[in-house]
A = this chain, B = another copy of it.
Amino acid sequence: MSRKLEKITPRDENFAQWYTDIVVNADLISYGPAKGTMIFKPYGYAIWENIQKYLDQKFKELKVTNVYFPLLIPKSLFDKEKEHIEGFSPEIATVTKVGDKKLEEELYIRPTSEVLFGTFFAKEIQGYRDLPLLYNQWVNVLRWEKTTRPFLRTSEFLWQEGHTIHANAQEAKDFTLKILDVYSKFAEEALLLPVIRGQKTEREKFAGALETYTIESLMYDGQALQCGTSHYFGQNFAKPFDIKFTNQDNQLEYAYSTSWGVSTRTIGAIIMTHGDDHGLVLPPMIAPTQVMIVPVKNDDTLLTVAEQIKKQLGNFRVVIDESEKSFGYKLANAEIKGIPVRIEIGPRDLEQESVIITRRDTFEKVQVKISEVLATVNKLFTEISANLFNRALANRQQRTIKVNSYEEYKEILKQKNALFLVPFCGALACENIIKEETQTVSRCIPFDISQDVSEQCFRCDNPAQYLVYFARAY
């Protein structure tokens, strides 16, 4: 690319503009021609491929198998589950014609595929021995958005959607929680995002679900982002879709279903959690390039050493920047792309059989012997991972505020974004008012805080049902 590296707006000056500068300048995306669509460029898509590889393996360990269900859903089918269609209908792109010919029945582009899986399960299962069925698909979905932002909110996005069906309620519920475990481990280990595990309130749960479980993270600017959800439907889909099986007592019974998803939004979370004024900062585990080797110039001696080092780092994803750009450009490019570790090879260091290794998160440099590069990179990846995670956790902790009064809540919001822990009544009406007045929404009823609550709701003074996190959110 003859692309110039543009100046990035400082993060604390204008976070939204900083974000836009990063996604474009780090070569992650380009804007698509249809409203609210985006193009995943090679570097952006490679991050998603690494996320896929990680999650796909974890799903397979739970005996989940991949399938592919159609993009188009007949309107009449989607309309069968009332809450579900009410939740999604304003966002659904609809095919009404092919060529010049009007279709007899309108077709919806999937915003999610519960109704397709439901229809399939109804045909597929007969007895309890057929259960459970544990399916997943990696697909594109469409949900029309008024205002869009790359990764965070686009008309089309990529995700995995898992759909399972079980012979009893407990097993289904347990499975949603097993998946939540996979998701939180994925977020914390692979993306280095500290997450809060919990349950969604009545207002925030998935359209049609009995219970929605979630992992929530807090971005650098103090706004929350949902990183993955897992839904327990009970028999909510089994009834309208007639998913019945013969149970062990030889009785016909409606089956119990779940669904769960992680999307390309998580790439937005990585950017907004770890990025800095120099560009992207990528977690080593999902970075497309983990180590960038930059020779001071492209001469044979330096390139030979570069190749030796690349060989030494055999198991890592290593690129030697042999482009015709200047040395300075190459360093800046490695920075803006958030490559975890950069190795500079210059003639003076070579005299001492050493190279300079720079870590992206802190810009600390060390001079190391060539023979010790692998050990150093291994050590740095551990340190970088710990540092990124802890930095994000410190930001969240520093912004977490326990509040009992709505006045105080609103006062703090005037000054900053925070993650509020509040006693809450749980009522839909109360939550609607909070949303309208403060543009904050509940994130979850956290698992790891005792829910033995004796206080009043922070807003309406009715008895609180649980302690809930609220925040502004993406």
Is the C-beta of A169 less than 8 angstroms from some C-beta in chain B?
no
Q: A30-B123, A32-B116, A130-B1 are in contact. Are A38 and B70 (CB under 8 A)?
A: yes
Residue of B nearest to A245 (CB): B2
Check: A328 CB closer than 8 A to any chain B CB.
no
Residue A158 CB within 8 A of the other chain: yes
Q: Beyond A33-B73, A45-B66, A46-B66, list 9 extra A-B contacts (CB 8 Å).
A: A30-B123, A32-B72, A34-B74, A39-B67, A39-B68, A40-B68, A93-B98, A95-B109, A96-B97
Partner of A72, one of B65, B72, B96, B156: B156
The 7 closest A-B pairs by CB, nearest first: A37-B70, A42-B65, A40-B68, A32-B70, A90-B99, A98-B144, A34-B72
Evaluate contact between B129 and A2: CB separation under 8 angstroms.
yes
Given the known interface contacts A67-B42, A120-B39, the answer about A95 and B94 at a Cβ–Cβ threshold of 8 Å is: yes
Interface of A is mostly: mixed
**A346 part of interface (Cβ distance < 8 Å):** no
A390→B343 CA distance, assembly (Å): 52
Within 8 A of B (CB), among A209-250: none
The smallest beta-carbon distance between A139 and chain B, in angstroms, is: 7
Per-position contact with B for A70-85: 1 when CB-CB < 8 Å, else 0?
1111100100000000
Task: From known contacts A39-B69, A116-B33, infer whether A93 and B95 are also in contact, taking CB-CB under 8 Å.
Answer: yes
Determine if A92 is an interface residue (Cβ-Cβ < 8 Å).
yes
Using CB atoms, name the residue of chain B closest to A115: B33
The reply to whether A45 and B74 contact each other, CB–CB distance below 8 Å, is no
B156 & A71 in contact (Cβ 8 Å cutoff): yes
Q: Once bound together, how far apart are the Cα atoms of A95 and B109, in whole Å?
A: 9
Instruction: Report chain B residues within 8 Å CB of A158.
Output: 68
Contacts of A68 in B (CB 8 A): 39-40, 45, 48, 158
> How far does the alpha carbon of A93 sit from the alpha carbon of B98 in the complex, in Å?
4
- A1 touching B124, Cβ below 8 Å: yes
Residue of B nearest to A32 (CB): B70
A114 to chain B, nearest CB (A): 13
Residues of chain B lying within 8 A (CB to CB) of residue A66 = 42, 45-46, 49
A90 CB contacts on chain B under 8 angstroms: 98-100
Query: For the complex, what is the distance from the CA of A111 to the CA of B358, rounded to whole Å?
Result: 46
CB distance from A142 to the nearest CB of B (A): 7
Which residues of B have CB within 8 Å of A324? 129
Once the chains bind, are B72 and A93 in contact (CB under 8 Å)? yes
| CB pair B89 A99 closer than 8 Å | yes
A346 to chain B, nearest CB (A): 25
1/0 contact trace for A1-34 toward B, CB 8 Å? 1100000000000000000000000000010111
Provide the residues of chain B in CB contact with A70, threshold 8 Å: 32-34, 37-39, 156
Q: How far is the CA of A361 from the CA of B443 in the complex (A)?
A: 57
Contact status of A98 and B94, CB under 8 A, knowing A33-B73, A120-B39? yes
Tell me, yes or no, whether A317 is within 8 Å of chain B by CB: no
- 21 A-B pairs (CB sep. < 8 Å): A1-B130, A2-B126, A2-B130, A32-B70, A33-B73, A33-B74, A34-B107, A45-B66, A46-B65, A49-B66, A68-B158, A72-B142, A91-B98, A92-B99, A93-B95, A93-B97, A94-B98, A96-B96, A109-B109, A129-B324, A140-B140
Nearest chain B CB to A101's CB is how many angstroms away? Answer: 8
Assembly CA distance A77 to B98 (angstroms): 17
Q: Which residue in chain B gives the minimum CB-CB distance to A107? A: B34
Q: For chain A residues 95-151, which have a beta carbon within 8 Å of chain B? A: 95-100, 107, 109, 116, 119-120, 123-124, 126-127, 129-130, 135, 139-140, 142, 144
Task: Report the separation of the CA atoms of residues A129 and B89 in the bound assembly, to the nearest whole angstrom.
Answer: 47
